[in-house]
A and B are shown apart, each in its own frame.
Chain A
Amino acid sequence: MSISVNNISKSFKGKTALKNISFEVKKGELFGLIGPDGAGKTTLFRILTTLLIPNHGEATVVDFDIIKDYKSIRNNVGYMPGRFSLYQDLTVKENLEFFATIFGTTIEKNYDLIKDIYVQIEPFKDRRAGKLSGGMKQKLALCCALIHKPKVLFLDEPTTGVDPVSRKEFWEMLKRLQNKGITMLVSTPYMDEAAICDRIALIQDGEMLEIDTPKKIVKHYSKTIYNVKANNMYQLIKSLKSYQHNYSVYPFGEFVHYTDTRTDFSPIDLQHYLTSKNLKNISIEITQATIEDTFMELAK
């Protein structure tokens, strides 16, 4: 096991941030931590990177205890905090060189590991890090976290504030790194990114809701979901919410995800109801449950 967490709890001044968290990450796994802001993701990262001490429970990273062997952990992991935490007044190259030096290595020694990513920012290697775009900054931060060939990589919301194209690129890079045998724990508030992970854990209010592969997690969702669409979104949501048989109503892009309390639900009834509410161009179709639906259901 690369990471093993056993019954971890943490509270700040009486406010609980994490409640009895337990999970394991296998060697070489890409493990996603999915949850909204304030769910406790960053606290969990800080505990595992030995920056915080939990109130209860124990955890090991690369078989080192997070409290007793914190020095060994610090030698063996890479950490990319949620906020951009590089030196803005240093150039791209200087930042990378600095992190290589403090980990007792050189860029050349581990170049093969960062090559794929570094070639993308290399044209800007003499630019100050503070002047890079959001996506570039994240790529540089990833390079800096990787430069010492860590066994485990912790990435706290690496794609927050990054454009969709760069986000996709970033996850592809993580997938490639996985092939090089690096265990990764990644957190994100974006449910759509979760599907790329080997396994994901849904976390909310400091509690683990579910841990499984993205495919299986969706299967936990037992209800049939309907994509409902009409000419007036606002009116549609309002009408659905006041429909007496509604179980859940969530806007989802251009559709509304709707589930019904009845087992013998027929879309025709709903169609009639919505027409009576003056809605036009109504379409109702069965759709697949997404991780977001599962999350909403579990968080209910």
Chain B
Amino acid sequence: MKRFIGFIKKEFYHIFRDKRSLFILFGMPIAQIMLFGFAITNEINNVNIAILDHSKDATTQEIIHKIESSKYFTITASILNETEIETAFKKGHVKAVLIFEKDFSKNLGKENNATVQVIADATDPNTANTISNYVTAILQKYQQKINVAVKTPYQILPKTRMAFNPELKSVFMFVPGVMTIILMLVSAMMTSISITREKELGTMEILLVSPLKPFQVIIGKVVPYIFLSIINAIIIVLLGILVFNMPVQGSYFLLAAESVLFIITSLSLGILISTVSASQQTAMMISLMALMLPTILLSGFIFPISSMPLPLQIISNIVPAKWFIIILKGIMLKGVGLQFIWKSTLILVGMTLFFIGLSVKKYKIRLE
């Protein structure tokens, strides 16, 4: 036991003396969560639009007023004729232009029919789509208001409610995703690098020719990173709660327990990588290629799994991150207990045991 503690002490020396890695270790989660939370967002706010009003009557004024008073749009320009539209887009000042036809109010009253044209700058298709949806929504709301008196015979009014994330905040999606990526990265990559470093520097040779048992070496390598990963997980959850008002509906205890489970899964993957790679560089490449990419792309973090082609959907099942994200979203957003996520939990436990078993089988007590 004394040997084991001595070994862990040595590992902490390594970690704390490598200032650059330490900075990455703790700087990365903060930077990533801030980036994903603030910069990368699907929401629109204060989008600049322009109005071309051929009619200039009370109704159009009222509609313009409605649009302006929403927090989504700012009207920055009035355009006088069609030719100016393209110039405005080309200059990039506005993201959309609203065109009211001539005699808007009159047409509405007489023919019960008036048209508004929405032209959106689709160089960024997602934003263009969102803008047109928002404008349509505002127009529909206005239409409902003026229709109160008139009874339309047949009407289907969909009433949508966005459960668990009513404001459709994208940060709710990013916090679990970033947490998964960071834990995977810290646990798997850092352990695999720290084990292969011993091989590369030749110190593994001395460790092998010592009474230290292989599992003592491995566990000794892993324990410090369990601590660091737990600290990272706490930082991420705290940032999510304090900065982005991310809710944690479920039990904190369950959240912590599941996080530790995922950390151990990642660590066992890291150990497995280190047993098959001889140099730090190989270990890093394998970690990045085989772990990071699937974790980002196939876990359902950014791209929904259900819209992937079938082969990718099948492959996504072997990505541990997929199951952890399901668990995280379940606990944080839906507030579910273990009875709803036991399947994902069991899969992670199974994967961990499999990786550990494989590592033990692959671990060499000699140099060959």
Contact = CB atoms under 8 A, between A and B. Distances in A.
Contacts of A53: 366, 368
B206 A89 contact: no
Contacts of A85: 201-203, 205-206
Interface string A84-96: 1111111000100
Interface in B1-55: 2-3, 5-7, 9-10, 13-14, 17-18
Contacts of B18: 89
Query: What 7 pairs across the A-B complex have the smallest Cβ distances?
Result: A101-B6, A85-B202, A79-B209, A51-B367, A83-B202, A89-B17, A49-B209
Contacts of B206: 79, 81, 85-86, 99, 144
A94 B2 contact: no
Contacts of B366: 50-53
Interface string B186-207: 0000000000000001110111
Contacts of A88: 201
B6 A98 contact: yes
Interface in A85-115: 85-90, 94, 97-99, 101-104
Contacts of B10: 87, 90, 94, 98
Contacts of A102: 3, 6-7, 207, 210-212
A178 to B, nearest CB: 21
A241 interface: no
Contacts of A46: 205, 367
Given A94-B13, A98-B10, A104 B205 contact: no
A90 B208 contact: no
A219 to B, nearest CB: 37
A74 interface: yes
27 contacts: A50-B209, A51-B205, A51-B209, A51-B366, A51-B367, A52-B368, A53-B366, A70-B365, A74-B209, A75-B211, A85-B202, A85-B203, A85-B206, A87-B13, A87-B203, A88-B201, A89-B17, A90-B13, A90-B14, A94-B13, A99-B206, A99-B210, A101-B3, A101-B7, A102-B6, A102-B210, A102-B212
Interface of B: 2-3, 5-7, 9-10, 13-14, 17-18, 201-203, 205-212, 365-368
Interface residues of A, number: 30
Contacts of B17: 89
Contacts of B2: 101, 104
A104 B9 CA distance: 15
A225 interface: no
A90 B14 CA distance: 8
A36 to B, nearest CB: 21
A140 interface: no
B185 to A, nearest CB: 22
Nearest to B364: A51
Contacts of B14: 87, 89-90
Given A46-B367, A51-B209, A104 B3 contact: yes
Contact of B210 (A89, A90, A94, A103): A103
Interface of A: 46, 49-53, 70-71, 74-75, 77, 79, 81, 83-90, 94, 97-99, 101-104, 144
Given A53-B366, A94-B13, A102-B7, A74 B205 contact: no
Given A51-B366, A53-B366, A101-B7, 11 more contacts: A46-B367, A50-B209, A51-B205, A51-B209, A84-B202, A89-B18, A98-B10, A99-B210, A101-B3, A102-B7, A103-B211
Nearest to A94: B13
Nearest to A67: B366
Contacts of A103: 3, 210-211
A144 B10 CA distance: 15
B62 to A, nearest CB: 71
Nearest to A156: B205
Nearest to A101: B6
Nearest to A75: B211
Contacts of B5: 101
A277 to B, nearest CB: 50
Nearest to B6: A101
B211 A52 contact: no
B194 to A, nearest CB: 12
Contacts of A83: 202
A153 B211 CA distance: 15
Contacts of A77: 209
Given A87-B14, A90-B13, A51 B208 contact: yes
B210 A74 contact: yes
Nearest to A73: B209
Nearest to A145: B206
Contacts of B7: 98, 101-102
A79 B3 contact: no
Contacts of A90: 10, 13-14
Contacts of B368: 52-53
A81 B17 CA distance: 25
A174 B2 CA distance: 30
A104 B209 contact: no
Contact of B211 (A87, A89, A104): A104
Nearest to B16: A89
A35 B212 CA distance: 32
Contacts of A75: 211
Nearest to A91: B13
A51 B5 CA distance: 25
A104 B1 CA distance: 10
A71 B205 CA distance: 14
Contacts of B211: 71, 74-75, 102-104
A103 B203 CA distance: 15
A153 to B, nearest CB: 12
A46 B368 CA distance: 11
B210 A81 contact: no
